Structure 1
């Protein structure tokens, strides 16, 4: 008897039939995501105040965070003052983005904004090996105004610049950020999936408490951070 649960074994014809049925649903979901993206492109927008954030070189206006681009994606990273290791979900999520130059062709930039003081934020960025540009909203209401208040959750916001005027065009939080990640997309392809208790899986499938398989921030630092010494 196999110690690990396995999907049923069938002949090739039966497998092809089941796969075809699943792929029909997958293709329908893809078309629905296309329709959602089309609606996102039709959303109205709201004008933003002239916020000033803190960057590695000092104060910087929100409009200048674009660095000449017209579009800006901001990941609001959770931050808890005085903690050595910040949110593992945020740390792991943002560690995936190491090659963002392709956004140049789309007149766009992707940065991190956190409530942490800029010196602490940049030190944490270095410790965990993050490659993205970081900014601080510790001395600005910007984070709170876009759904990421002090000691609050994470968020993703998108902005559009027209000259010196910045507009907010989109926002999400919670599981809405999954569409930006490749990790869950890959894990969800696996026969056992995420192996978390909340997931609908066949009886006997390996399942663990939610988040228990996620890498800790310390693990992310060990994998991607600067070498010792």
Structure 2
């Protein structure tokens, strides 16, 4: 960052006019997100087979992962066999979710499912201080069937339960998960933004290679894990 990498200095009236113009775009984006959410609520659904996953207490059927709720959000966490430190993006993303009880009021639950063996997954959860409930699909085709095969990346899937029958209602991956994150929302408010090379920023703004400012799994463990 150079000494000249600063926003233009203007008078208060000019600043307010530009803020008002930006606010119009922000409101339009909010209305568009409302419309997208309305379309999402009208999505059809697909009936799921009767999967069996592994939880902290042993095998568990997919419908039982709902823990009595009717709606379930699943974050499919990337997993690399034999690695001490798993995906930094997944580790950082899921570390944000420490207080999920508010979902009780919406008859919903949010959990992690990973391709890692359950004992390894739970050990990693403790190492990095993760607070979510973890399940393993290592011995089940569930992960591959919902867009998160072994070595195939991460995803978010949403399910609806009607008695003992489970339906898949929504899926996203890649940058589609950003709406669920408060970290990017806060960073994007900053004058310098994410400071990544791909972003459209004024000349002279600090920019770094993509992901270079992201916390690593080791960073997360140092902040929140067993030895923090």
TM-score range, shorter chain: over 0.9
**In structure 1, distance between residues paired with 2:149 and 2:174:** 14
Q: Which residue of structure 2 aligns with residue 144 of structure 1?
A: 144
Q: 1:3, CA displacement in angstroms?
A: 2.1
**In structure 2, distance between residues paired with 1:226 and 1:80:** 21
1:16 is aligned to 2:26: no
Q: Which residue of structure 2 aligns with residue 75 of structure 1?
A: 75
1:132-161, CA deviations, whole angstroms, 9 ceiling, x for partnerless residues? 000000000000000000011100000000
Q: 1:226, CA displacement in angstroms?
A: 1.8
Q: Which residue of structure 2 aligns with residue 101 of structure 1?
A: 101
1:26-76, CA deviations, whole angstroms, 9 ceiling, x for partnerless residues? 000000000000000000000000000000000000000000000000000
Q: Which residue of structure 1 aligns with residue 170 of structure 2?
A: 170
**In structure 2, distance between residues paired with 1:187 and 1:168:** 32
**In structure 2, distance between residues paired with 1:205 and 1:219:** 26
Residue 221 of structure 2 contacts residue 227 of structure 2 at CA under 8 Å; is this kept in 1? Answer: no
Q: Which residue of structure 2 aligns with residue 193 of structure 1?
A: 193
**In structure 2, distance between residues paired with 1:143 and 1:203:** 43
Q: Which residue of structure 2 aligns with residue 113 of structure 1?
A: 113
**Alignment TM-score, normalising by the size of structure 1:** 0.98
**In structure 2, distance between residues paired with 1:16 and 1:24:** 12
Alignment map for 1:145-160 (pairs within 5 Å):
145-160=145-160
Q: Which residue of structure 2 aligns with residue 6 of structure 1?
A: 6
**In structure 2, distance between residues paired with 1:103 and 1:132:** 13
SS at match of 1:69: coil
1:61 is aligned to 2:65: no
**In structure 2, distance between residues paired with 1:202 and 1:82:** 43
1:63-111, CA deviations, whole angstroms, 9 ceiling, x for partnerless residues? 0000000000000000000000000000000000000000000000000
**Alignment TM-score, normalising by the size of structure 2:** 0.98
SS at match of 1:110: strand
Q: What are the ranges of 5 or more consecutive residues in structure 2 without an aligned counterpart?
A: none
Q: 1:4, CA displacement in angstroms?
A: 5.2
